[in-house]
Amino acid sequence: MIRFFLTLIGLLFFIATLVLFFISAGAALGFIHPALDVFNHLQPLIFIGTLSLLLFSPIFIKNKKWQSINIAIAATGFISSAVIVVPEFVLGLSVEKSEAVAGTKQYKLLSQNLFGLNYDMQRMATAIKKEDPDIIALQEYFSVQRAGLHPLLVKDYPYYFLCVGGKRANIAIYSKLKFEKLSASDCAKNREQRTSRIFIKIIDDGNDFTVVTTHFDWPVRISQFREGNDFSEKLDLAFARKKGQLSELAKALENFNGPLLIGADFNSTSWSYELRNFAKDNGLKLLTRSLLTYPNRFNIFGWRDVFPFISLDHMMSKGDIKIYELRKGDPAGSDHNPVIIRFSV
């Protein structure tokens, strides 16, 4: 009986290794199609999972032949993950940061997904006040959040612009500095429009720079598999919405060559080919590589604090912007950590 259970455990361990190997290999081939690139959103779990399967193979699989096979498969999966994770982690550590120069005016931008089920806006306002940013970019800024947070912000941030619409179209920018809303902005015109974008230009003592915020949809739209005439068409439709949102933002960015910062929830990770290619194709520097911001809360028989393992919230820059500080802030009731950048232009 004991031998039977040991064999069963070994078999299950081997199946788990095979599954994670195919996921890891698919993620590494994500440049072929967004359907494979989706796996890259889970790279930290894949990386740790394949490494664990590799290290524990001798313990759970006793047969030497199958043990060797399992080690080979797990090692291949681990290497496939490592070629994505390790370079991004190194690039995240090597983001160029300038030394402060006397007389250079610095600014601080905070980008925060508030989380639609977060109703403690006093706590959020206190956290923002502690950071004391010059500019705030907010996502998931629904009516309940606006009713609680707006009165707490507007005294210190008298300049603001809000977009109200459906789903992820509820965004806003608050600023201590005067700004001009730019025509590249696109606020939702009705509840059916799922996303918005805000472009503002700040002019402060000759320091002109543009700040952008938006909130994208999840990478895949499962419901679209019911549409289309064949599997290939169904697959393309499932990823068309996110692709369209990236294309629209890229088009809006075409005429901007000066200093520009994007603080947004892209619902896409820095390990994703799609996001990295978007930044590269539009002359943007993806600053938040492997910055784990989501989820720091999860509903497991009630809301519980967890360690974030996905990088969904990003900062991107373009033009002559010097960075002095780039980090994630402390959680304040949201399931996302804020991202904070201190910079000069």
The kind and range of the H/E element at 163 are strand 159-163
Residue 95 identity (one-letter amino acid): V
CA 115 to each of CA 169, 190, 315, 318: distance values in angstroms, whole numbers, following the listed order: 13, 21, 18, 28
Q: What pLDDT was estimated at residue 228?
A: 65
Residue 54 lies in a domain: yes
Residue 164 sits in a domain whose CATH number is 3.60.10.10
Which segments of 68-126 are extended strands (E)?
A: 107-113
Name beta bridge partners: 110: 136, 340
Bridge partners of residue 216, in order along the sequence: none
Residue 126 lies in a domain: yes
Would you state the structure tokens that stand for residue 20, as one six-digit string?
């994670």
Give yes or no: residues 264 and 154 share one domain: yes
Residue at 243 is within a domain:
yes
**Vertex 330, ends 325 and 335: CA angle to 5°?**
120
Tell me the two tokens of residue 245.
């949102």
Q: Of 153, 179, 117, give the one whose Cα is nearest residue 333.
A: 117
Checking DSSP bridges between strand 285-286 and strand 260-265, what pairing results, if any? unpaired
In which residue are the tokens 């608050």 written? 174
C-alpha to C-alpha distance for 298 and 306, rounded to whole angstroms: 7
Q: Which domain holds residue 12?
A: 2-93
Six token digits for residue 244: 């369209």
Query: Does the residue 118 lie in any domain?
Result: yes
**Is 125 in the same domain as 14?**
no
pLDDT value at residue 16? 95
The CA distance from 131 to 133, in Å, is 6
d(CA 320, CA 299): 42
Residues 224 and 274 in one domain: yes
**157 and 241, same domain (yes or no):** yes
Q: In the listed set 32, 63, 93, which residue is the last one of a domain according to the structure?
A: 93
Q: Contact at 8 Å (CB) between 197 and 252?
A: yes
Whether residues 6 and 148 fall in one domain: no
Residue spans of alpha helices (H) in 154-270: 231-253
Q: In the β-sheet with 197-204, what is the strand arrangement from edge to edge?
A: 179-181, 197-204, 207-214, 260-265, 313-318, 285-286
Handedness of CA 109, 115, 121, 122 (dihedral sign): negative
User: Which H or E run contains 68?
Assistant: helix 64-93
Q: Are 80 and 116 in the same domain?
A: no
Residue at which a domain ends, from 93, 117, 146: 93
Per-residue pLDDT tens listing for the chain (345 residues) = 677 777 788 889 999 999 999 999 999 999 999 999 999 999 999 999 999 999 999 988 888 899 999 999 999 999 999 999 999 999 888 777 777 777 789 999 999 999 999 999 999 999 999 999 999 999 999 999 999 999 999 999 999 999 998 889 999 999 999 999 999 999 988 777 788 999 999 988 888 999 999 999 988 877 776 766 677 777 777 788 888 899 999 999 998 888 999 999 999 999 999 999 999 999 999 999 999 999 998 887 777 888 899 999 999 999 989 999 999 999 899 999 999 999 999
Question: φ, ψ for residue 148 (rounded to 5)?
Answer: -90, -35
Residue 99 inside a domain? The answer is: no
Q: Is 102 within a domain? A: no
Helix (H/G/I), strand (E/B), else coil: 137: strand
Whether 17 and 68 map to the same domain: the answer is yes
Q: How far is CA 294 from CA 52, 334, 336, in A?
A: 23, 9, 5
Beta strands 297-299 and 135-139 are unpaired
Q: Is 119 found in the same domain as 85? A: no
Domain count, the chain: 2
> Are the C-beta atoms of 140 and 215 separated by less than 8 Å?
yes
CB neighbours of 225 closer than 8 A, spacing ≥ 6?
A: 234, 235, 237, 238
User: Residue 3: its pLDDT value, please?
Assistant: 75
Q: Are residues 187 and 162 part of one domain?
A: yes
Alpha-carbon gap, residue 144 to 121, rounded angstroms? 9
Q: Which of 70, 93, 116 is the last residue of a domain?
A: 93
Q: Report the distance separating Cα 19 and Cα 100, nearest Å.
A: 49
CA distance 278 to 76: 28
pTM: 0.90
Q: What is the pLDDT of residue 82?
A: 97
- Please tell me the predicted confidence (pLDDT) of residue 225: 66
Buried b (16+ CB within 10 A) or exposed e, 3-19: eeeeeeebeebbebbee
- 35 & 165 share domain: no
User: Do 61 and 111 belong together in one domain?
Assistant: no
User: Is the distance from CB of 195 to CB of 246 less than 8 angstroms?
Assistant: no
Residues 6+ apart with CB under 8 A from 35: 220, 235, 238, 239
Of 219, 214, 218, 176, which Cα lies nearest the Cα of 195? 214
Would 98 be classed as within a structural domain? no
Q: Tell me, yes or no, whether 101 lies in a domain.
A: no
Q: Are residues 297 and 215 in the same domain?
A: yes
